[in-house]
Amino acid sequence: MKRLAGLLILCWISAAPLAAQEVYVDFDGSGRFSWYKTWAWEETEENSLKGTNDLLHSTIKNAIEHHLSQGRLVEDGCHVHIC
């Protein structure tokens, strides 16, 4: 019984930091995503971790590319301002 109580207390202490996290999500609920067929990267100094944390930059970029490619969206190699 003491072992079970100790295990429950340990689990509660381990999970306590998770309850302290705050996650904010913002999206446009009126967006018509069925209109979109392609996507492309537009890297600027404000939205890039390149040079600061190359590994994190690469990890985030690869994850986004993977999830976008799983749907019906196709990567467009053409940048918005050029084409």
Say if residues 75 and 40 touch (Cβ distance below 8 Å).
yes
* Cα distance between residue 10 and residue 4, in whole Å: 10
- Write out pLDDT tens, residues 53-80: 788 888 888 888 888 888 778 888 665 4
Q: Spell out the domain ranges in the chain.
A: 34-83
Mean pLDDT, rounded, of the chain: 76
What mean pLDDT comes out for the span 25-50? 76
**Helix extents (H) in the chain:** 2-19, 54-70
- Write out pLDDT tens, residues 13-33: 776 666 666 777 777 778 777
pLDDT band at 81 (very low <50, low <70, confident <90, very high): very low
